[in-house]
Amino acid sequence: MRQVGGAISALAGASFFLQADKGGASLTNLAGYAFLGGVFFLISALRLKSAEQNG
């Protein structure tokens, strides 16, 4: 799961870097990145809770 999160972070960082030079930049992509980060955090928390309960 960490590899997926790292790959998404790398792609997002490259995307932010490339878009920073364009006119009319917005925070729409940043909001999507933050949402995905929240989803990955929730999945990790649920997996940790499940592992804690099972053993």
Domain range annotation of the chain: 2-54
User: What is the identity of the amino acid at 19?
Assistant: Q
**Mean per-residue pLDDT, 31-45:** 86
Q: What is the pLDDT of residue 42?
A: 93
Instruction: List the end-to-end C-alpha distance of the chain, in Å, as a whole number.
Output: 21
Placement of tokens 């790292």 in the chain: 6
Residues 48 and 54 sit within 8 Å (Cβ to Cβ) = no
Global pTM reads 0.60
Residues 19 and 29 sit within 8 Å (Cβ to Cβ) = yes
Q: Which of 3, 5, 29 is closest to 16 using CA atoms?
A: 29
**Mean per-residue pLDDT, 42-52:** 91
Q: What is the pLDDT of residue 13?
A: 82
